[in-house]
Amino acid sequence: MELSANAKINLTLDILRRREDGYHDLQMVMQSVTLADRLTVTPAQGAVGQAVSDLHFLPTGGKNLAQMAAAAFRQAAGLGGQVDVSIQKRVPVCAGLAGGSADAAAVLRAMNRLTSAGLSSVELAKIGERVGSDVPFCVLGGTALAEGRGERLTPLSPLPPCSIVICKPHFSISTPHLFGRVNVRKIVRRPDTSGVIAALDAGDLAGVARRMYNVFEDVLEPRRAVEIGEIKAALIDCGALGASMSGSGPSVFGLFHREDLAQEALERLRSSYRDVFLCGPAGAE
């Protein structure tokens, strides 16, 4: 079985509070995009399923998120055998784009079909929570408000058609390190989440783009903040309606109402960065 595993971007990312259990309560408007890995899921050749990809540094066994999802499905549904998963990675790794979570979600959908278990998306998303907090969103896809650690989802009106340019700078950012730098009481700038939701309801792309923000941008190390700022400025210079960092970074994206402007941004950023993509919003699964 062949499937696509769509990446996601954060139209907003806000941190509401630090919880007693050490995790943070988040509020994020998440959007699936057409930038995607391609997966092939087949019955396992050996006794234990493998996950092979074109990136040699990814784990191939039970530590690959695709195999973790297969194990979670078997355990929760009491159905399904071992599967081999072959992954063509297109979504950059450790980029704030939930590429691994997207692979996990695709395997949950594949196992559901291969076993004819007939689980609903909501049931699959619940299984996905055991694998990672972005997996439930990747199961449902589309446009959604994600709260809690990201697992409490409310579908939203779809992002209007647009072109999206995503650029991943060369450095990577450790998510726990970034959370460690956040002092919730000192967050000065926050996204206008309710304004973004209202703009989505009104089909107002410019209204969404104008209100996007990611609170992690305030706690980046200064030299990283400079580079993220430069990429955002390049996107806006080329005509993006708005630009923001996705997740815990370092990917930055811009929303464009005209594809020719997005193409111009793509070419400009490609002169400095290898991982630059032109894609669009993807709908719910």
Residue 160's alpha-carbon distances to 5, 196, 203, 204, 255, in angstroms, are: 21, 12, 6, 7, 10
- Clarify whether 8 is annotated catalytic: yes
Q: Which residues contact 257 (CB under 8 A, 6 or more apart)?
A: 162, 163, 205, 206, 241
Select from 208, 263, 176 the least CA-distant residue to 30.
208
Active-site hit among 14, 134, 168, 232: 134
56 and 33 in contact (C-beta within 8 Å)? no
Q: Which residue has the tokens 């979600």?
A: 105
| Shortest reach from residue 58's CB to ligand ATP, in Å | 5
Q: What's the min distance (Å) between Cβ of 251 and ligand ATP?
A: 8
Question: Which residue, 92 or 207, has its beta carbon nearer to ligand ATP?
Answer: 92
Counting contacts by CB under 6 A, is residue 66 touching ligand ATP?
Answer: yes
The H or E element containing residue 266 is: helix 259-270
Q: Are 37 and 91 in contact (CB under 8 A)?
A: yes
Q: Residue 126 catalytic?
A: no
The CB-of-54 to ligand ATP minimum distance in angstroms stands at 11
Q: Residue 118 CB, nearest distance to ligand ATP (Å)?
A: 26
Contact flags string 177-216 toward ligand ATP, x per CB under 6 A = ----------------------------------------
Residue 8 gets the label, from left (phi > 0), alpha (psi -120 to 50) or beta, of beta
Site string for ligand ATP, 131-150 (x = CB under 6 A): ---x----------------
Sheet holding 252-256: strands in order across? Answer: 242-245, 252-256, 163-168, 275-279
Assign residue 191 a region: left if phi > 0, alpha if psi is -120 to 50, beta otherwise?
beta
Among positions 74-133, residues that touch ligand ATP (CB under 6 A) are 87, 93-101, 103
The smaller minimum CB distance to ligand ATP, of residues 132 and 281, is found at 132
The angle at the Cα of 113, spanning 155 to 128, to the nearest 5 degrees, equals: 45
Nearest residue (CB) to ligand ATP, 178 versus 197: 178
Distance CA 114, CA 44 (A): 13
Q: Which of residues 36-65 bind ligand ATP (CB under 6 A)?
A: 58-59, 64-65
The yes or no reply on residue 175 touching ligand ATP (CB under 6 A) is yes
Q: Which is nearer to ligand ATP, 14 or 103 (CB)?
A: 103
Lookup: tokens for 12 = 């907003």
- Running DSSP on this structure, what letter comes out for residue 281? B
Please report how close the Cβ of residue 73 comes to ligand ATP at its closest, in angstroms: 15
Nearer residue to ligand ATP within complex by CB, 84 or 134: 134
Pairwise CA distance, residues 23 & 87, whole Å: 31
* Closest CB to ligand ATP: residue number: 100
Q: How far is the CB of 8 from ligand ATP (least distance, A)?
A: 7
x/- site string to ligand ATP, residues 237 to 256, per CB under 6 A?
Answer: ----------xx--------
- How many residues form the binding site for ligand ATP (CB under 6 A)? 20
> Which residues sit at the interface with ligand ATP, rule CB under 6 A?
58-59, 64-66, 87, 93-101, 103, 134, 175, 247-248
Please identify every residue annotated as catalytic: 8, 134
